[in-house]
């Protein structure tokens, strides 16, 4: 999420419509992804997050904020802290809007196609728990988008407050289809077919349609829990009502789709999702903690260097690129407000997520599945609805350990390009260079033509020195590797 522009003293702000003109563009930054719900508009000012609400959405908010279930989830940190603000005191003009609320800021925005299996599963279970709570207060979640959940470390947090609305008698759960497309089907895809769900979600912002999910399921898969009801029946129902001018929502309401039926559906979905586990898959670096090439003395030497470097100051945001199972992410977390730990291996991130969930420590690490050579781009409407990783917050410290050889040799990215990209982040850097005589590099080169003239320690150090000020360096593994701490010029 981009940093908002500062408000000039004495200025007022207004958003007349989601597609309208911002009367003081220097004062606020509008959230491009909030256009889908016409009952609200999210914007940022001075690092704060606000949301305009329509008359109906504001009335719903007044009901929601005093509901016991909502207060309980908010206390637990599973609903974003939200409060009503006085527009006049904040210098905000309401225009066509009825009210304004402010949300606590999420440390770093992420998307479902960057989550591990366990993260998507826990986000789905949170959504269903919120549905149960809302139904107990005669309310419902009208939307079921996975994008309505964000993370505070390893804690899922629901952020789309206007999704809660009163439950009208006989109304169906209109968010059920969206829940299937963005939560259930991706989880089933990996649990039942062993297929990575992330490219599917990244490729279509609205998720996996029922008819496509049905095409992926074999006749044998129809016997698996939930497939017949939530995939085959859903696909048949949508086919029946698509393009015929028939009102599926109205038909369900007429059929008596009441609260009790919704509650039973939510309970069954909770049990189904709770039992899903990823198919047996072993990825290259999933056992990194046990298979790295360091002996204990050299590993401790590396850990000590990283800890000394990280301790030189306190960092607002740190990144650990190629984090594996998070050994060094935890060191960075000791000296940072927040750490985003990224690795292209989803199983390594799954291990990190599960370990951090159960750990008795400050939970300020966000694990994400990110392949730096093919990182999440800006996409969606006007390529602004979902932001690239570098547009959501720049790190002050970046760990880049045992990664450079994978970037240059495995991904064929020129060394100069990678160092230049790191420099463009404006970050301090702890980076490790693995030499050609190291067994890991020899393995990578064994089945490739050696076209990597740039992959040499002298070239690396010269490039690093051109973009950074080297503060410390140390040899590892008898000089086969070198580790550096460098600050931005």
The rounded distance, in Å, linking the Cα atoms of 44 and 22 is 12
Q: What is the pLDDT of residue 241?
A: 72
Quick check: is 13 in a domain?
A: no
Quick check: is 14 in a domain?
A: no
The rounded distance, in Å, linking the Cα atoms of 144 and 180 is 9
292 in the same domain as 250: no
302 in the same domain as 401: yes
Q: What is the pLDDT of residue 11?
A: 32
**Which one of 68, 83, 103 terminates a domain?**
103
The rounded distance, in Å, linking the Cα atoms of 238 and 435 is 57
Range of the structural domain that residue 250 is part of: 112-275
Q: What is the mean pLDDT of the chain?
A: 89
179 in the same domain as 43: no
Task: State mean pLDDT over 28-45.
Answer: 88
171 in the same domain as 231: yes
303 in the same domain as 267: no
For the ranges 139-143, 169-173, 363-367, which has the lowest average pLDDT?
Answer: 169-173
**Which one of 240, 275, 310 terminates a domain?**
275
Quick check: is 430 in a domain?
A: yes
The rounded distance, in Å, linking the Cα atoms of 99 and 16 is 13
Task: State mean pLDDT over 471-475.
Answer: 97
Quick check: is 89 in a domain?
A: yes
Percent of residues, the chain, with pLDDT higher than 90: 79
395 in the same domain as 344: yes
* Residue 324, domain CATH: 3.40.50.150
pLDDT tens track for 199-226:
999 999 999 999 999 999 999 999 999 9
359 in the same domain as 423: yes
Quick check: is 194 in a domain?
A: yes
The rounded distance, in Å, linking the Cα atoms of 312 and 251 is 64
Quick check: is 57 in a domain?
A: yes
Give the largest Cα separation in the chain, rounded.
76
Where residue 358 falls among pLDDT bands split at 50, 70, 90?
confident
Where residue 26 falls among pLDDT bands split at 50, 70, 90?
very low
136 in the same domain as 99: no
Q: What is the pLDDT of residue 1?
A: 41
pLDDT tens track for 316-326:
999 999 999 99
Q: Look at residue 14 and tell me whether its pLDDT is greater than 60.
A: no
Q: Look at residue 255 and tell me whether its pLDDT is greater than 70.
A: no
Per DSSP, the three-state class of 385 is coil
128 in the same domain as 64: no
Q: What is the DSSP string of 181-203?
A: IIIIHHHHHHHHH---SHHHHHH
Task: State mean pLDDT over 254-274.
Answer: 87
264 in the same domain as 307: no
Q: Look at residue 188 and tell me whether its pLDDT is greater than 60.
A: yes
Looking at residue 19, the DSSP 8-state letter turns out to be: T
Query: 293 or 297, which is more confident?
Result: 297
Which residues make beta-bridge pairs with 100? 52, 85
pLDDT tens track for 414-433:
999 999 999 999 999 999 99
Q: Radius of gyration (Cα) for the chain, nearest Å?
A: 25
Quick check: is 20 in a domain?
A: no
Q: How far does CA 90 lie from the centroid of its chain?
A: 30
237 in the same domain as 149: yes
Quick check: is 150 in a domain?
A: yes
CA angle, residues 401, 405, 407, in degrees to nearest 5: 90
Where residue 34 falls among pLDDT bands split at 50, 70, 90?
confident
**Which one of 211, 246, 275 terminates a domain?**
275
Q: What is the pLDDT of residue 180?
A: 97
| Residues in Cβ contact with 430 at an 8 Å cutoff, skipping those fewer than 6 apart | 305, 306, 309, 310, 397, 398, 399, 400, 401, 483, 484, 485
Q: What is the pLDDT of residue 170?
A: 84
Give the count of domains, the chain.
3
421 in the same domain as 404: yes
The rounded distance, in Å, linking the Cα atoms of 291 and 86 is 57
């Amino acid at each position: 999420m981009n940093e908002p522009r500062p408000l000039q003293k004495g200025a007022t702000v207004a958003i007349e419509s989601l597609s309208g003109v911002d009367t003081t563009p220097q004062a606020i930054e509008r959230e491009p992804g909030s256009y889908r719900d016409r009952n609200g508009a999210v914007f940022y000012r001075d690092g704060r997050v606000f949301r305009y609400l329509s008359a109906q959405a504001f009335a719903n908010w007044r009901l929601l904020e005093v509901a016991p279930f909502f207060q309980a989830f908010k206390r637990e940190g599973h609903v974003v802290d939200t409060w009503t603000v006085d527009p006049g005191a904040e210098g905000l003009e309401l225009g066509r809007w009825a009210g304004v609320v402010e949300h606590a800021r999420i440390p770093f925005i992420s998307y479902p196609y960057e989550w591990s299996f366990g993260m998507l599963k826990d986000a789905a279970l949170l959504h269903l728990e919120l549905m149960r709570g809302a139904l107990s207060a005669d309310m419902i979640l009208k939307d079921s988008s996975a994008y309505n959940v964000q993370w505070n470390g390893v804690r899922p947090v629901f952020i789309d407050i206007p999704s809660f609305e009163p439950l009208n008698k006989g109304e169906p759960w209109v968010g059920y289809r969206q829940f299937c497309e963005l939560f259930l089907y991706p989880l089933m895809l990996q649990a039942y077919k062993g297929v990575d769900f992330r490219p599917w979600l990244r490729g279509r912002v609205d998720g996996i349609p029922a008819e496509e999910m049905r095409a992926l399921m074999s006749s044998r898969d129809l016997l698996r829990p939930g497939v017949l009801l939530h995939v085959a029946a859903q696909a048949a129902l949508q086919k029946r009502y698509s393009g015929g001018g028939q009102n599926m929502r109205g038909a369900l309401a007429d059929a008596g789709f009441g609260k009790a039926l919704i509650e039973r559906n939510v309970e069954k979905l909770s049990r189904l999702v709770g039992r899903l586990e990823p198919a047996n898959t072993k990825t290259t670096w999933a056992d990194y903690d046990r298979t790295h090439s360091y002996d204990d003395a050299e590993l401790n030497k590396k850990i000590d260097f990283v800890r000394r470097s990280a301790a030189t100051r306190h960092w607002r945001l740190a990144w650990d690129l190629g984090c594996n199972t998070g050994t060094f992410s935890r060191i960075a977390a000791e000296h940072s407000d927040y750490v985003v730990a990224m690795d292209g291996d989803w199983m390594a991130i799954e291990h990190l997520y599960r370990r951090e969930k159960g750990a008795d420590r400050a939970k300020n690490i966000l694990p994400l599945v990110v392949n730096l050579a093919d990182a999440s781009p800006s996409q969606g409407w006007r390529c602004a609805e979902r932001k690239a990783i570098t547009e959501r917050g720049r790190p002050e410290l970046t760990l880049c350990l045992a990664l450079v050889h994978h970037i240059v040799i495995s991904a064929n990215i020129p060394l100069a390009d990678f160092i230049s990209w790191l420099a463009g982040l404006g970050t301090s850097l702890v980076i490790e260079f693995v030499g050609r005589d190291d067994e890991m590099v020899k393995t990578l080169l064994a089945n490739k033509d050696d076209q990597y003239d740039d992959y040499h320690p002298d070239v690396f150090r010269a490039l690093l020195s051109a973009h950074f000020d080297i503060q410390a360096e140390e040899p590892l593994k008898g000089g086969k590797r070198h580790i550096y701490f460098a600050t931005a010029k």
